[in-house]
A and B are shown apart, each in its own frame.
Chain A
Amino acid sequence: MINPSTGPSSKAKVQHMMYGFGDDPNPLPETVTLVEEIVVEYVTDLAHKAQDIGSKRGKLSVEDFLFLIRKDLPKLNRCTELLSIQEELKQARKAFEVDEDKLATLE
């Protein structure tokens, strides 16, 4: 809808996601538009609420988002899982770089 992005359009992404959740490979365009609108509306609403909470603490943070989806266990668990994976990747990248640096220094 509103996101100008290069590569696959947002509609195509939504369409693929719908297929991933069980829909037909080629759903109706109206369906895709509707689902996209629902998703955008949801994300927008979530961001607004997070900002409301974050402004009370000073700044917006990841914790605010996790707080908002606390009632939705599947989403919450998935979010924490993704965040932990992100941390692990960070550690891995850091270790990788350090290794290179060590090697460089050693050499």
Chain B
Amino acid sequence: MDQQQPPPPTPNAPPPSSAVDPPPQPQPQPQIQQQTTPTPPSSTSSTAIPNPNPNPIPKPLPSAIPPPQQPPQPKPALPSHQPRPAAAFSRPWQQHSSQFTHFSSSSPSASSSPSPSLSSQPRGSIALGVPSSHSGPSPPSPSPSQSTPFTGSFGHSFGGTSSSNVSQARPMMRGIGMGSSVGSSSQMRPGGISAQHQQRPLQSSLRPTSSPTSQSPSTQNFQGHGLMRVSAVGSSSSTPSTLQTLQTPQSPNQPWLSSGAQGKPPLPPPWHRPQLRAHIPQQHHSLQTVSQQQHVSSPQVPPQNISSIQQQEHFEQQFSQSRASQSLPHQQQDSRSQGSANQKPSSLAMVQPSTVQVTQNKAAITESDDSGGRILSKRSIHDIVNQIDPSEKLDPEVEDILVDIAEDFVDSITTFGCSLAKHRKSDTLEAKDILLHLERNWNLTLPGFSGDEIKTYKKPITNEVHKERLAVIKKSILAREAANAKHIIGQTAVNTKGNVGKAAANILGSPNVKIREVS
């Protein structure tokens, strides 16, 4: 659909208008998107993405545009994990990301559908069992601000810009295959995906087509801020400026999604990008970064804005999830339960705006790997390896795997932490939830977070029956020993030979051994 186009173009085209009047420019937007995606999402609400790749985008967009609700389809078609194989893809992707924002906004439902598939795919590709699928498309842009929380856990300054977005984006980004899932997401799950996409589009000042209005409410549920944007998408992004970006008509978003098949996982709605703005000049269309999402907009200004944006969004999502551990509101937990990790990211995004951006940027940089929304970038892996051995080198596949492992780890930890928090009947994810999970299941102790709570000692529980049996055995052994001793003594008395004495000593020795074993 034009969704793809509009979002990107909006940033570019309307950049000047920054007011984010993208709505009417479905076509110009796509083009703009491409261009704008790389450009940092200026705080302009319009999320005009000053991507200088308007041209490439239009091509993919047209194809994607047709089915407004299926924009992500084309993209999902892409191999789930294809890390934006071609730069070209990344480009259009970026644009899409901008489109995405509106995509998500425009068609929350559409996005949701593709997103689920996206999430499933990308995740599926990762054998690590990361529940990728759910997070991506489902939470349609929990909230741009949510991305901030992402930054928390990983230290990436995801800046939780759109933790929610990230989460959304993540699933989408995951699995570059997400392209296909994107398409599905474009079909959107109401609200779920749109939220994600909306986030993206926000950045690109994509005015989420009002069509996603239905989605927007759902997205709103997510997290408020993130949702706001999403809802804005649905409801013509009436919501905060960030939403404006989302406002890009859904169709534009969707087309983007569908064009996602181009091989670029649907980046979190440009909405994420705006958050990343700070770091990713190109991508952060000021759309949303500004207030709402403090997206994790990791400062990783992706070399390829488009791809990076996508990655970032994914990262944010993922990140937000990780951030969730820090102090996610219960909502996030719910979202998680729903399988929409995106929600959490949104809340997270709010928490940590800068970190998310950083991570996203990094994610963008490592476009080569799958899904843009990576929590960890290859650069981080390099840094860690350098700490161990400066002369060490890693194969690129190894780096990919490590990044995947890290993401899955964060994802699983956050999920379990949330379920523990829920078990605690609380709606806030706290440090103790994560600490308990790590201690019990991973045998990892993290000093410095427990708040000086003494661990009480529990005496090992022993059964009465077992105690009785032990007592009986002891008695029998003692009795036998006594009997043997008497016998031996008697024998020695009878036999003055020394051999008997030795035998007695041996016999006496054995019962002692037996007793020791029993006890």
Contact = CB atoms under 8 A, between A and B. Distances in A.
Contacts of B452: 1-2, 37
Given A1-B452, A2-B452, A37 B447 contact: yes
B452 to A, nearest CB: 5
A91 interface: no
Contacts of B512: none
Nearest to B453: A2
Interface string A32-54: 01100110010011011001100
A55 interface: yes
B447 A41 contact: yes
Contact of A55 (B447, B460, B519): B460
Contacts of B447: 34, 37-38, 41
A78 interface: no
A3 to B, nearest CB: 11
Given A34-B447, A34-B448, A57-B519, A44 B454 contact: yes
Contacts of A44: 454-455
Contacts of B455: 41, 44-45, 48
B457 interface: yes
A51 B459 contact: yes
Interface in A64-78: none
B459 A55 contact: yes
A51 B457 contact: yes
B445 A47 contact: no
Contacts of B445: 41
A37 B460 contact: no
A41 B446 CA distance: 10
Contact of A2 (B454, B457, B459, B460): B454
Interface in B374-399: none
Main secondary structure of the interface of B (DSSP, over half): loop
Q: How large is the interface on A (under 10, 10 to 19, 20 to 34, 35 or more residues)?
A: 10 to 19
Nearest to B459: A55
A52 B458 CA distance: 9
A80 B251 CA distance: 77
Interface string B494-519: 00000000000000000000000001
Interface string A1-21: 110000000000000000000
A41 B462 CA distance: 26
A29 to B, nearest CB: 13
Contacts of B454: 2, 44
Contacts of B459: 51, 55
Interface string B416-448: 000000000000000000000000000001011
A38 to B, nearest CB: 5
Highest count of chain A CB atoms <10 Å: which of B445, B447, B460, B519: B447
Contacts of A33: 448
Contacts of A55: 459-460, 462
Interface string B449-480: 01010110101101000000000000000000
A57 B515 CA distance: 12
Nearest to B455: A44
B451 to A, nearest CB: 9
A58 B455 CA distance: 23
A52 B448 contact: no
Contacts of A52: 460
Nearest to A38: B447
Contacts of A37: 447-448, 450, 452
Contacts of B462: 55
Nearest to A35: B447
Given A1-B452, A37-B448, A38-B447, A47 B457 contact: yes
A60 to B, nearest CB: 11
B473 to A, nearest CB: 14
A20 B519 CA distance: 43
Nearest to B457: A48
Contacts of A51: 457, 459
Contacts of B460: 52, 55
A58 B450 CA distance: 33
A1 B450 CA distance: 12
7 contacts: A2-B454, A33-B448, A37-B450, A37-B452, A45-B455, A48-B457, A51-B457
Interface of B: 445, 447-448, 450, 452, 454-455, 457, 459-460, 462, 519
Interface of A: 1-2, 33-34, 37-38, 41, 44-45, 47-48, 51-52, 55, 57-58
Given A2-B452, A37-B448, A51-B457, 16 more contacts: A1-B452, A33-B448, A37-B447, A37-B452, A41-B445, A41-B455, A44-B454, A44-B455, A45-B455, A47-B457, A48-B455, A51-B459, A52-B460, A55-B460, A55-B462, A57-B519
- In order of increasing CB-CB distance, the 5 nearest A-B pairs are A38-B447, A34-B448, A48-B457, A1-B452, A37-B447
